[in-house]
Structure 1
Amino acid sequence: MTTPVDELSVLLKSLSSDLRVYVGAGRLRSTGGSGGLTQAVAEEVHALVVELYEGYWHRYAYGTDGPASAPQIEMSLYPKSAAEATALLGELASASLLFPEFAFMDSAEAKSIAARVVGSLGPGARWWSNRDDLSVDTVTSCSIDTFVIGSDGDRFALLIQVGDD
């Protein structure tokens, strides 16, 4: 039997692209303290960023500090509406942040899958990104990255695009 987490993982995996767009989904880990939802989602972002850094992206890091810590990521969480999250998921999955003319997948297909991801977490889910209206708070130590993460308080969905110029 397929669980909601499995379905979410499959949807997100279809939005990933080798060495550029990475995804994660599952049940939120307990923060073990008084931390709330933003701390829990920041820790999920941090876990994926560390995995990416250690596995491949460390060679493109512009500093020696490594990726942002979970508290730094938590401070970089800008709230997004479900519509904004859908658009951003579709954008990040479909085209390069550095070279927008380079497509990873059809943008209409990406947006359709993104809408299913957002819908699967439900109308009560909260969404964030490290991109606000004017800038992006990089979290990977690479030239460019943007993530979007959402949670219904139990499950999470995360997509991040990383690039280097």
Structure 2
Amino acid sequence: MTASEDAHLAELCGRMEELATPSRVFVAAGRFTEQDPDLPELAVRIRALLAEAAKDQAWRRFLPAYAPPPVPGVCAALEPLEAAEAAPFLTTLATVDLVWPSHRHRSAGSAARAADRVVALLGPEGSWWTNHDASCGAVNGLTPLFDSLLAGTDGRHYAVALQIADD
């Protein structure tokens, strides 16, 4: 990787970390190692983040035997999201609690700045996926808890954010 590519990856990872919150909003970002990655390779990264969230001390008791869905199951749960909708959705995912919408996990302004930059780093041709069906508002749950996921890729890099909650 060149210094420019290293800086790009470092900024992507750093901006995603700005969106994370302890035990609620989990994030991952990186560069694919596979050639010509597509949705299945992104699903592998999503599975890894789901597994990480399930190991979090706050959630282990709710997910004692949980194993993330296999890659085809993750792929089947995902719906495409228009690039123009990615930053607002990512901002909401990082700020608004799934169960208690009046509760905020972080400042909407700082989350919006980080989300806007993440989307810009993946570029206008980036592909975005969520487990929400935009046409009807339904959620294809990836965990037995309430969850909301957004994943994006530019074909070289990926960014994944997951919020989990339980009432």
* TM-score, normalization by structure 2: 0.88
Runs of 4+ deviating beyond 4 Å: none
Percentage of identical aligned residues: 31
Contact 1:28 1:44 in 2 (8 A): no
**2:23 aligns to what?**
19
> Where do 1:1-165 residues align within 5 Å?
3-30=7-34, 37-56=38-57, 57-61=59-63, 64=65, 66-133=67-134, 134-141=137-144, 143-165=145-167
Matched AA of 1:104: H
* TM-score, normalization by structure 1: 0.89
Q: Distance in 1 between matches of 2:48 and 2:66?
A: 16
3-state SS of 1:60 partner: coil
Q: Distance in 1 between matches of 2:110 and 2:10?
A: 20
Q: Distance in 2 between matches of 1:29 and 1:20?
A: 28
CA deviations over 1:52-72 (Å, ceiling 9, x no partner): 2134323213x8553322211
Count of residues in Structure 1 that have an aligned counterpart in Structure 2:
160
Question: What runs of 5+ residues in structure 2 fail to find an aligned partner?
Answer: none
3-state SS of 1:23 partner: strand
Matched AA of 1:137: N
CA deviations over 1:25-49 (Å, ceiling 9, x no partner): 0012428xxx951101111100111
